Structure 1
Amino acid sequence: MSRVARPQTGFTLIEVVIALAITAVIMTFSYQSFSTASRSAEASAQVLARINELDRTWQILGQDARHILTPVNASGDASVIGGVRRPFRGASLYGDTSGDKLVLQFTRGGWLNPMNRPRSDMQQVIYRIEDGTLWRDFRPERNFVVEDWLYAEDLIRQPMLEQVTDIDVRFLSPQMAQQQGAGVLNGEDYARDWVQNWPDSSGAGVDTSLPLAMLVRIELEDGLVSERLYDLAQ
């Protein structure tokens, strides 16, 4: 009795090789797409983190600006220097973020004390640049009678923003506001002629005075540029 030959099933070697080649191509494209997506996600996360860091800086600076106090001495006379509150000072960096440089110095009020600790409700605040990093240094001001203030002598140093390439600070003096009147904020470059240091060497500001407004512009290494305008009129 003869047997009927059955057709062979399965894949030939050529078919297997072609299938493997197609699979390899698909995997290569898939890996490249995944790698690109992963790098894009990582870059987006870094940008988002920088934006959040910058936004946090603006929020804290905004809180400080809303509570800046006019300098006065122990007797309450604002015309005398060297009293309780530090004079308001500010300076642009002009693109130089090396070393340790002062950006802003002032006394602020409204410092919340939910734990009811024996401290002042005012702060001495300093914003400064140290080798490209923006710091906020602060400590309680001595407007309350406290027996022992040794714990408050050292400044608390708070890092705010890294990789800063420039901070441009401009101040609106009462004299300029009076000269320009209602048009003081007109135009895109309205702060071009505002002074970049306070007190101004030309006499626009004195140690016990505050500018009417302050424009702060921050530039970062990764290309982010942001600015805020603060109303300091008391």
Structure 2
Amino acid sequence: MNAPARGFTLLELLVALAVFAIMAIAAYSGLSNVLFTRAAVETENRRLAMTQLAFYRLAQDLEQVVQRGVRDEYGEAQPALRGNVQDSEALLFTRAGWDNPLGQPRATLQRVAYRLREGRLWRLYWTVLDRGGLAEPHEMMLLDRVRELRLRFLDQDNTWRNDWPPPADNSSDPARKPKPDQLPRAVEISLTLEDWGEITRLLLLPG
């Protein structure tokens, strides 16, 4: 005579449920870690893309810098390139190659500035060179979480300077006196980021 079918005891069911719960927790924890890692990688990739774009815009602008001074909103003459991190506009210059796909009645030159404000790096540009009146710039935020912006300029004597244009010296030689629209040979740009520390790029200027 066959023995009656034997079912699970209560203890066996409890053990099975406990094992299943442990496996479910382990699976959820593993999935959670994968999702967290994926989100962190995506965040870092976006950060990297923004940082690369910021330096790309800087390089693209400075590669097309031209010796064209302007007049500010007060009618005062301004050099072709001015750099001083203490100013509200740390780096200010005129560049060529401003695309005009709609054929608007404007110049192909553009006045561009970069500034650091409240931990953010901004790019500004004006639709006119000689501002006159109250011409307002267009602004675009390039990068956030920036602690510091530092600039250095390489002059024609291969001397690094923290400001541009360089101050006039006491030389009587006219050839050694700085010209208002003289450009540096190169610009060194250093950004200190909250998460990645200092990043430095050396950008050569045309001419």
| TM-score bracket relative to the smaller structure | 0.7 to 0.9
Once residues 109 and 33 of structure 1 are traced to their aligned partners in structure 2, the CA distance between those partners, rounded to angstroms, is 54
> Against the structure 1 CA distance between its residues 72 and 126, is the aligned structure 2 distance closer, same or farther, given a 3 Å change threshold?
closer
Structure 2 residue aligned with 1:162, among 144, 168, 173?
Answer: 144
| 1:200 corresponds to 2:200 | no
| 1:90 corresponds to 2:83 | yes
The TM-score, its normalising length taken from structure 1, stands at 0.74
2:172 corresponds to? none
Q: What's the CA shift for 1:45?
A: 1.0
Q: What's the CA shift for 1:208?
A: 2.0
Once residues 17 and 79 of structure 2 are traced to their aligned partners in structure 1, the CA distance between those partners, rounded to angstroms, is 76
The TM-score, its normalising length taken from structure 2, stands at 0.82
1:211 corresponds to? 184
1:28 corresponds to? 25
Instruction: Name the SS for the 1:159 alignment partner.
Output: strand
Question: Alpha carbon RMSD of aligned pairs, Å?
Answer: 2.7
Q: What's the CA shift for 1:129?
A: 1.0
> Against the structure 1 CA distance between its residues 86 and 141, is the aligned structure 2 distance closer, same or farther, given a 3 Å change threshold?
farther
**Structure 2: stretches of 5+ with no match in the other structure:** 170-176
2:173 corresponds to? none
| 1:13 corresponds to 2:6 | no
Listed one character per residue, the Cα deviations across residues 55-111 of structure 1 (whole Å, up to 9, x for unaligned) are 11112111101110113479xxxxxx82xx743111246xxxxxx832200011111
Q: What's the CA shift for 1:176?
A: 2.5
Instruction: Name the SS for the 1:209 alignment partner.
Output: coil
2:41 corresponds to? 44
Q: What's the CA shift for 1:202?
A: 6.6
- In structure 2, what residue type is equivalent to 1:27? A
Q: What's the CA shift for 1:205?
A: 5.1
- In structure 1, what residue type is equivalent to 2:60? Q
2:100 corresponds to? 113
Whether the 8 Å CA contact 2:112–2:125 is kept in 1: the answer is yes
Whether the 8 Å CA contact 1:166–1:218 is kept in 2: the answer is yes
2:126 corresponds to? 139
| 1:61 corresponds to 2:58 | yes
Instruction: Name the SS for the 2:114 alignment partner.
Output: strand
Whether the 8 Å CA contact 1:92–1:170 is kept in 2: the answer is no
Q: What's the CA shift for 1:168?
A: 1.8
2:156 corresponds to? 174
Listed one character per residue, the Cα deviations across residues 173-226 of structure 1 (whole Å, up to 9, x for unaligned) are 11236xxxxxxxxxxxxxxxx222212347585532111011111121112542
**Structure 1: stretches of 5+ with no match in the other structure:** 75-80, 94-99, 144-148, 178-193
Q: How many residues align?
A: 195
